A and B are shown apart, each in its own frame.
Chain A
Amino acid sequence: MKRIFQRFRTYWPFAVSEIQMVMSYPANYLMFVFGGIMTTFVTYYLWLAVFKSSPTATLAGFTLQQMIAYVFVSTMTSSLISVGTDQKIAREVRDGSIAMNLIKPIRYRIMYLFKAIGNFLHQFVLIALPLLFILIAVLHLMPGGITAVGLYVFSFSLSFVIQFLFDNLFGLVAFFTINTWGLSVTKNVVVAFFSGAVIPLAFFPEWLQRTLLFFPFGSMVYTPTMFYLGKFAGLQAAAAILTQGLWVVLLGILNHWAWTKAVKRLTILGG
C-alpha cells in the first residue's frame, strides 16, 4: 500500500502539470472549451432537424429525447477520452525530446497515463460538468436512472483505458516511421466514425454493428453511452462489459510487446 502511495506521489505531478499547462494559456483554453460545447450543440440541432423531418417518432430505436441524451453523452465521452497521447509521443520521438524523459527514473507509459488523467480532469471540470448540468438539470434527461449512471461511470473508465492504450500503440508507431501525422489524422476519423461519436452505431447495418461492437471502437464511446441511456441490459450489458475488459487486456499485452520492440529501435535525432 505504501509503495502504491509512493508511486502515486511520483507520477501525480505529471497530471497536475498537465492541468497547469493548459491553464497557462487561458484564452486558448477558453476557445477549446467553447469549441467542445459548440460541437455538442451543432450535433444537437442537426438531429433535431432530422427528427422533425422524419415521419416516424423513433429512428433506429431512438426517440428524440434519447437522441439528445446520446449526443450530449457521446460528445462528452469522446472528448474526455481523447487526450492526444499518440501525437504527443510521436512529437517527442521526432524532435528527440523523448531523451529527456528517458533519463528520469520513471516508466514512460505510466507517465503518459498520468498526463492523460490530468487532461481528463480539466476537461471533466470545464467541459463535462457544464454539459451534464444542461443534460440533467435543464433538460431532465437521465433515461436510465441512477443505476445507468453508475454503469456508465464503470464502462467509461474502461473505455478511457482502451483509448489510452490504443493511442499509445499509435504513438509507438513513430519509433518506426518517425512522423505519424498522416496516420493520426486517419486514425482520428476512423475512431470518430466507428466508435459512435458521430452517429450511434445502431444506425449502421446489422452486420457492421456487430463487427464494430467487437472491435475496440465500439467499446470507446458507443458502449458507455448506451449504458447511460439504459439501452444495454442483462446479457447484452454483460457482453459489452466483457468485450471492454477483453480489449483492455489485449491492448495492454500488445502495448507491452510493441514498447519492448520500439525502445530497442530508438535512435534519437540531432546529435
Chain B
Amino acid sequence: MIEVKHLTKTFKLKKKQPGLWGTVRGLFSGEYEAKCAVEDISFAIRRGEMVGYIGANGAGKSTTIKIMTGILAPSSGSCTVNGTVPYENRQQNARNIGVVFGQRTQLWWDLQLSETFSILKEIYNVPAKAYRDTMEFLDSVLDLHEFMTNPVRTLSLGQRMRADLAAALLHRPAVVFLDEPTIGLDVLVKEKMRQAIKEINQTFGATVVLTTHDLSDIEELCPRIIMIDHGRLVYDGSLQNIKDRYGAMKMLKFEVKEAGEARKIRLSTAGLAEQDLKSWCEGHSYFVSFNRHKLGIAEIVAQVMAQAEVLDISIAETGIEDIVKGIYRNELAL
C-alpha cells in the first residue's frame, strides 16, 4: 500500500545569528546550511495495517508524512502510496488519502461545521448515498451532531479535532495519515478518537499511519511501530517484540502495615547486577523493580512477606513510554 525507499529530504536553511544585530547581518549574508530532516528511510506498509510512526520532536516524522501526502518532494529516494507517486500526482494521490494534521485544521473557520462537510462532499465528488452513510457512521462514533450547526471558530479543541477527523474520512480514503490527532485532548475525547480510528480500519479496511507522542494511542491501536530518530530509522517491527526485548523489567509494589517495617526490608541480591534488581521505599510502600528473566516473582514475594506484614501487592509492567524514553536518550541500543 505504501512503499518508501531510501527517502532523503534535505532543507536549505539560511544561517541566522541571534539577536537584532544578527538579524540585520543575516539580510546581507548568503550563508546557507543544509539540514537533513530525513535520511535514507525505507519501509513498506501493507493494505489494512495500522502503523505507529514515532519519534521525538524534530525527528522527521512530519517531513515523511508531508512527502507521503504530496506536499513535499523528497531530495532523493522514492515513495508510492496506493500505486501513486504523491509528489508527482498530487491530486490523484489526494483522492486516496485522508489527512489530519493535529496542529492545523481543514475546516472552514468562519462557517457552520455542516458547511465544511457539504463543501468536502463536492470537492471529493462523494455520491449522495455514500455521503449520508458515511456521515451517519462518523456521527455515531464521534457525536458530531452536538455541534454540527456551530461556527467552527466557536468549537472547543476536542470538538474541532473530532470534526477534523471526520472531515478527513468523509471520502472513505484507502490510506489515512494522522499526524498527532490526539494532541492536547482530554482522556474522554482521546478515547473517542481512538475508537473512530479503530472502526475505520476495521469497517473500511483503511490503512492507518499514526504519529503521536501519546504512547497509549500506539499501545491501543498499532500492532506495528516504525521509530525514527534524527531522521534515521531506528526500529521497524512489532510493538510486542520491542516490549519483550526491552520490557523485561517488572515492578512490584507492596503496601506494608508499618512504615518502619518497610525500611528494614532487605532482599538477598546474590549474583544479580544492579540494573536487574532495585528496591526502594516511600512511606508505607515498598517497591521492587526486577528483570523477570533473572528473578521470579514468587521468590521476591516470599522474601518480603517473611520480613514484613504486607497488606496489598500490585504488579506493573514497564510501559512503552519507558522503553521509548530510553531509546530517545540512547540508553537502549537497538
Q: Which residues on A sit within 8 Å (CB–CB) of B119?
A: 13-14, 17
Q: Which of B11, B90, B92, B111 contacts A267 (CB 8 A)?
A: B11
- Tell me how far the C-beta of B47 lies from the nearest C-beta in chain A, rounded to whole angstroms: 21
The listed residue (A24, A97, A99) touching B111 by CB distance below 8 A is A24
Q: Do the beta carbons of B108 and A17 come within 8 Å of each other?
A: yes
Which residues of chain A come closer than 8 Å to B11, judged between CB atoms?
A: 267
Which DSSP category, helix, strand, loop or mixed, fits chain B's interface?
Answer: mixed
Residue interface bits B41-69, CB-to-A below 8 A is 1, else 0: 00000000000000000000010001001
Do A6 and B125 touch (CB < 8 A)? yes
Q: A17-B111, A268-B66 are in contact. Are A105 and B101 (CB under 8 A)?
A: no
Identify A268's interface contact among B72, B125, B151, CB under 8 A.
B72
Bound form: Cα–Cα A266–B9 in Å = 12
Q: Select one of B70, B73, B115 contacting A264, CB under 8 A.
A: B73
- Would you give the shortest CB distance from B263 to chain A, in whole angstroms? 48
Instruction: Among A102, A106, A266, A268, point to the contact of B123 (Cβ < 8 A).
Output: A106
- Residues in chain B near residue A21, CB distance under 8 A: 108, 110-111
Residues of A within 8 A of B73 (CB): 264
Interface residues on B, range: 20 to 34
CB <8 Å contact, B91 and A105: yes
Closest A-chain residue to B93, C-beta based?
A: A105
B70 contacts A99, C-beta separation under 8 Å: no
Contacting residues, chain B, for A103 (C-beta < 8 A): 69-71, 94, 97, 99, 106
Contact between A13 and B122, CB atoms less than 8 A apart: yes
Q: Is residue A210 contacting chain B, with contact meaning CB distance below 8 A?
A: no
Q: Kindly identify, within residues 76 to 123 of chain B, every residue whose CB is under 8 Å from any CB belonging to chain A.
A: 90-92, 94-95, 97, 99, 101, 103-106, 108, 110-111, 115, 118-119, 122-123
Cβ-based interface call for B235 (8 A): no
Contacts of A270 in B (CB 8 A): 103
Residues of B within 8 A of A99 (CB): 66, 71, 101, 104
A100 at the interface (CB under 8 A from B): yes
Interface size for A (C-beta < 8 A) is: 27
Query: Which residue of the partner chain, among A9, A97, A268, A271, contacts B122 with CB atoms under 8 Å?
Result: A9
**Given known A-B contacts A17-B111, A102-B90, A105-B92, A266 and B72 have beta carbons under 8 A apart:** yes
Q: Which residues of chain B come closer than 8 Å to A100, judged between CB atoms?
A: 101, 104-106
Instruction: Report A177-215 CB contacts with B as 1/0, cut-off 8 Å.
Output: 000000000000000000000000000000000000000
Known: A13-B123, A271-B62. A102 touches B71 (CB 8 A): yes
CB of B71 within 8 A of CB of A105, answer: no
Q: Does A104 contact B (CB under 8 A)?
A: yes
Does A39 sit at the interface, judged by CB under 8 A? no
Q: Give the distance in Å from the alpha carbon of A13 to the alpha carbon of B103 in the complex.
A: 25
Interface hub of B71, B90, B101 (most chain A Cβ within 10 A): B71
Q: What CA separation (Å) do A267 and B70 show in the bound complex?
A: 12
Residue of B nearest to A95 (CB): B104
Task: Assess whether B122 is in contact with A12, with CB atoms less than 8 Å apart.
Answer: yes
A271 and B99 CA atoms in complex are apart in Å by: 15
Name the distance in Å between B62's Cβ and chain A's nearest Cβ.
5
A10 pairs with B72, CB closer than 8 A: no
Q: Is B124 an interface residue (CB 8 A)?
A: yes
- Chain A residue with minimal CB distance to B107? A100
Kindly provide the distance from the CB of A27 to the nearest chain B CB, expressed in whole angstroms.
14
Contacts of A97 in B (CB 8 A): 104
Shortest distance in angstroms between B74's beta carbon and chain A's nearest beta carbon?
12
Chain A 96-119: CB-based contact to B (< 8 A → 1; otherwise 0):
110110111111000000000000
B168 (CB) vs chain A CBs: closest residue:
A103
Question: Which residue in A13, A96, A264, A267 is a CB contact (below 8 Å) of B104?
Answer: A96
Cα A14 to Cα B69 in complex, Å, equals: 22
- CB neighbours (8 Å) of B92 from chain A are 105
**Closest chain B residue to A102, Cβ basis:** B71
CA A264 – CA B87 in complex, angstroms? 10
Contact present for A20 and B115 (CB under 8 Å): yes
The minimal Cβ–Cβ distance linking A118 to chain B, given in whole angstroms, is 12
Within 8 A of B (CB), among A85-139: 96-97, 99-100, 102-107
Q: Contacts A17-B111, A24-B110, A100-B106 known; A105 to B122 CB distance under 8 Å? A: no
User: Smallest Cβ distance from B271 to chain A, in angstroms?
Assistant: 49
Task: Evaluate whether A271 and B103 lie within 8 angstroms (CB atoms) in the complex, with A20-B115, A106-B123 already known.
Answer: yes
Q: In chain A, what residue has the closest Cβ to B11?
A: A267
Nearest B residue to A14, CB-CB? B119
Q: Smallest CB-CB separation from B164: which chain A residue?
A: A100
Complex Cα–Cα for A271 and B58 (A) = 7
Bound-complex Cα distance A58 to B104 (A)? 58
The residue on A at minimum CB distance from B62 is A271
Select one of B69, B70, B91, B111 contacting A106, CB under 8 A. B91
* Residue of A whose beta carbon sits closest to that of B103: A271
Do A24 and B104 touch across chains, with their CB atoms under 8 A apart? no
Given contacts A21-B110, A103-B70, A106-B91, 11 further A-B contacts (CB under 8 A): A17-B108, A17-B111, A99-B104, A100-B104, A100-B105, A102-B94, A103-B99, A105-B95, A106-B123, A266-B71, A268-B71
List the 4 shortest-distance A-B pairs measured between CB atoms, nearest first: A105-B94, A13-B119, A100-B106, A21-B110
